[in-house]
Chains A and B, each alone.
Chain A
Amino acid sequence: MQDKTQEKTKTQVLTREENELARRLRTADKPLTVAGTSIGRRDDPLKVTGKLKYGADYSAEGFLFGKILRSPHAHALIKSINVKKAQELEGVAAVLTAEDLPGRNGFGAIIPDQPVICGDKVRFVGDGVALVAAETETIAHQALKLIEVEYEPLPGIFDPRDAMAEDAPKIHEGGNILSDDKMVKGDVDAGFAEADVILERTYQVPFLEHAYLEPDTTMAIPQPDGVMLIEGPMQAPFTTRRNVAPVLGVPINQVRVRQIHMGGGFGGKEDSPIDLSCRAAVLAQATGRPVKITLEREEVTIQTAKRHPMIMELKVGVKKDGTLTAFQGVIYDEQGAYASLGPKIPPAGGSHVHAMVMMPGPYEIPNVKVDAYLLYTNHPYGGAMRGFGAPQVHIAHEQMMDELAAELGITAVDIREKNAFRLGSQTATGQVLSQSVGLRETLESCADRFKWDERLAATGWVDQAHTKRRGVGVAMGWYRTSIGTNGDGCGAAVHLHEDGSVLLYSGITEMGQGAFTVLPQICAEELGIMPEDVRLVKPDTDLVPESGPTVGSRSTTLMGNAIILAARQVKESLMDTASMMLMVPTERLDAKGRKIYDRENPDKSLDFAAVAARAMAAGKRMIGQGWWTPPVPSLDGHTGQGSPYHVYTYSTHMVQVVVDVETGEVELEDYVAAFDVGKAINPKALEGQIEGGVAMGLGYALMEEVVLVEGVTQNPSLQGYLVPTMLDVPDIQPVILEVTNELGPYGAKGIGEMPNIPATPAIINAIAQASNGRVRRLPADPERIFWAIKEAGGPPQD
């Protein structure tokens, strides 16, 4: 009883704080004119003409080419290294080893545990043991071959469960368990005692490669005043700066980082640019010349972060009517060689804790226990990839829901309807969902659009020869907005000029998701002008306020709020000025369509530009600065109880497939995906996020896997690492629902990652529904489907 009281107190405190934050954001109750419309992307004209410059498109004249000598061993001591011959090669400007480094020999998005250059040991195939800078790429390659390294191989760890053994070789000095987290709610034993059916299943997912089309590239350009300028495609300029400075041994303000438009990121360009920037910077510092490092496609696969593989053991209890009573889970979350974005940033940051929190799914379950282990191995490392730990655990809980439903003889939709979150539900961390919970609405809309009942009834053999069966699948999902750390603040600046034009300063980066379109839209809405009146200043750590990284589906929501707060400061100047000019009190004034007008007499209006000119002349404030920090997150380190993320996006996906039961081949026939997004600021851009996210989830389901043997990547090129083509992806029908988020700009929530998450289990569930083939170890390629059908005793015979 006492526990419950404490819980109540916590909830009340949180509610008060949220109300205060919501009050700060509240907008006048008027229809939106700019936000909520599908304006075209600002950078589209450059994209369709080929004029948009990506990292590799900038001239490298005068640059040295940087290259990385990579370890061929997964785990080994470096006994000696001889770079003399490489240094003597004509055209080589520098060859660096660990002992040449000026500052901290380590970088990392969370913990700096990855050496810039390995000194005493290597931990994965691809680890950097020396750096070369040369006049041409060819010379740099030749120099790499002249470096002599003597290794003493050590036993490697290639299964995360082996990393936990007492006698396992230690990959890092602190041991192989990077994080050991628990989430405990209620009493699972009591919950299992109440259950009519208990199932235990293990699900497994592999390393995944982002396969963004643009290979990573970074330029480090020493400036005459001693500042190191870093330019490259990247999602997290501030995290990059935070790493480059200590590696060079200089203060943060001596490093300037500028983002170049990315050819795709998906989380992968959060930490790989840190790696390349640190390495290019030490070469540039050593030579005094600009250095460019561009990875080849195979290096992208071998070196950069991947989606974490996981082995997930579930035990779930359910009553006959479909009510869940207990959920017990164990996650062996494979970190690989370095910490990257895996470990916890208290209270709830890092991909590992996020996976743990998400693991029971968007369902009310009274009794939950999850043990989550984050483990070093001698594989490439796991980082952020569109969902940050959530896609993996959704693959487990969404398959389990279907397996339970089948066991109970109820439908996959019935069991979800029975347990899905609603307003006021309590999550497995004890968080009460107090606002913007549209999960059930997504299930209803999706089923309606998809015609679930009809299609479910129509599943069965497609052909008379009984070789192909049609089936349907469903999966639900939830995803946070924000990253769950205390320091998830986000800053923006709005500069108003005397002609009414505006400069918007934001550190949120563009990787194709549309931030450079949506953020000016929010700014224009708030000021009552048009998006084309706002020019966005591209992310540059010397110019824009700290905005945090462009990750965690946080850009539109957190930066949107910061922009609104910044815009209001200059709007106050405008309204004061207009009030004097019109002789109307400010409370009666409003702005839209480049006019400031009297709400009670709209004919009484002024041009926005004229008011801006007068405000400037009167010495009014013309610069606004906004800072938004979401509600303080909480998560108890021992029980995993608290409110880790302040709001969630919800989704339901339904898909129809045809499975060839003789070959295991799958064709997707139809796909509907419904989302509660809070508010769509730019519906067309949002649809693009949905369609692209689903396509990526399809790849995860059916074909994608980084294959590793003894630590060696077997399929580093796109010949071996398959991604969906235009022939694989069906016509995806997006359904957008808006259940207002009172803590988002005009009610918006994050959307970048959510579409990717339920897609994979929806497809896997459809395959099982069609064929009986339940593939619990991904990807569900034809061979695995074939054997899964065999294991199930063949396809349904009806």
Chain B
Amino acid sequence: MSTVELSFKLNGREVSLSVAPDTLLVDLLREGLGLTGTKAGCREGECGACTVLLDGTPMNSCLLPAVKAQGREVTTIEGLEKTDGSLEPLQEAFMGEGAAQCGFCTPAMILTATALLKNNPDPDEGEIRHALSGVICRCTGYRKIVQAVQTAAKARS
């Protein structure tokens, strides 16, 4: 099969590679690049577990052809890693509040909340719930996730 050239910024680093034109971003990340922190739960944009940030906006990577990343910036959960090993306030808050159970939705929740807090550093509960409603969690009942985002917002301010 023919391939296309693709260049984009991934977690702060430029990457250039050849991909089949029908490759989905979720598969490129997980299988092509080994970034398995992005999860595939339904492959139809319903569960949100595959959420990544595209130029800072949360997107379902299972609905996104990889070529759509051309010239743009993609951030996955691995992109939050810092060289000194410290964690982001959101990551700390998710641990502190007990906001992760099975953990399958956790990377998507944290990335979505990252985008929210960047645009709205002090969201109220309704804004948090609205912003994160595209990611399904089947374990927690969401309360501790909302609390974690509130705690992180306080820690950042």
Contacts and interface: CB of A to CB of B under 8 A. Distances in A.
Nearest to B77: A50
Given A512-B101, A726-B132, A296 B139 contact: no
A226 to B, nearest CB: 31
Contacts of A511: 102
A692 interface: yes
A691 B47 contact: no
A424 interface: no
A693 B101 CA distance: 12
7 contacts: A40-B95, A44-B103, A48-B100, A261-B102, A688-B140, A692-B101, A731-B143
Contact of A41 (B41, B98, B130, B140): B98
A691 B145 CA distance: 11
Given A47-B100, A54-B104, A263 B39 contact: yes
Contacts of B96: 40
A263 B136 contact: no
A214 B80 contact: no
Contact of B103 (A210, A512, A719): A512
Contacts of B134: 725
B146 A726 contact: yes
Given A40-B98, A718-B44, A729-B142, 11 more contacts: A44-B94, A44-B100, A50-B106, A213-B49, A263-B103, A264-B138, A265-B102, A725-B136, A726-B132, A726-B135, A726-B137
B43 A296 contact: yes
B133 A48 contact: no
A712 to B, nearest CB: 19
A266 B140 CA distance: 12
Nearest to B111: A50
B140 A692 contact: yes
Looking at chain B's contact residues, the main secondary structure is loop
Given A50-B36, A263-B102, A264-B102, A688 B95 contact: no
Contact of A719 (B44, B77, B104): B44
B: contact size bracket:
35 or more
Nearest 8 pairs of A and B residues by beta carbon: A50-B37, A512-B102, A47-B103, A691-B141, A263-B104, A50-B77, A512-B101, A695-B141
Interface string A4-31: 0000000000000000000000000000
A349 interface: no
Interface in B78-120: 78, 80-81, 87, 91, 94-96, 98, 100-107, 110
Contacts of A213: 39, 41, 47, 49, 102, 104-105, 136-138
Contacts of A52: 103
Interface residues of A, number: 56
B9 interface: no
B94 A48 contact: yes
A51 B41 CA distance: 17
A265 to B, nearest CB: 8
B143 A214 contact: no
A684 interface: yes
Interface string A473-517: 000000000000000000000000000000000000001111000
B149 to A, nearest CB: 10
A274 to B, nearest CB: 20
A43 B130 contact: no
A214 B102 contact: yes
Interface of A: 38, 40-41, 43-54, 56-57, 210-215, 261-266, 296-297, 511-514, 684-685, 687-688, 690-696, 717-719, 723, 725-727, 729, 731-732
A519 to B, nearest CB: 16
Nearest to B102: A512
The dominant DSSP class at the A interface is loop
Contact of A514 (B77, B87, B101, B110): B101
B38 A50 contact: yes
B76 interface: yes
Nearest to A61: B31
A590 B147 CA distance: 39
A692 to B, nearest CB: 5
B59 interface: no
B43 A729 contact: no
A48 B136 contact: no
A725 B146 CA distance: 12
Nearest to A211: B138
Given A40-B96, A41-B100, A48 B106 contact: yes
Contact of B144 (A215, A262, A691): A691
A264 B139 contact: yes
A212 B102 contact: yes
Given A214-B41, A688-B144, A692-B140, A50 B76 contact: yes
Contact of B138 (A215, A266, A688): A266
B104 A44 contact: no
Contacts of B43: 296-297
A49 to B, nearest CB: 7
Nearest to B80: A49
A551 to B, nearest CB: 16
B155 interface: no
A694 B95 CA distance: 21
Contacts of A40: 95-96, 98
Nearest to A43: B103
Contacts of A54: 39, 104
A688 B43 CA distance: 27
Contacts of A56: 36, 39-40
B129 to A, nearest CB: 5
Contact of B36 (A57, A514, A684): A57
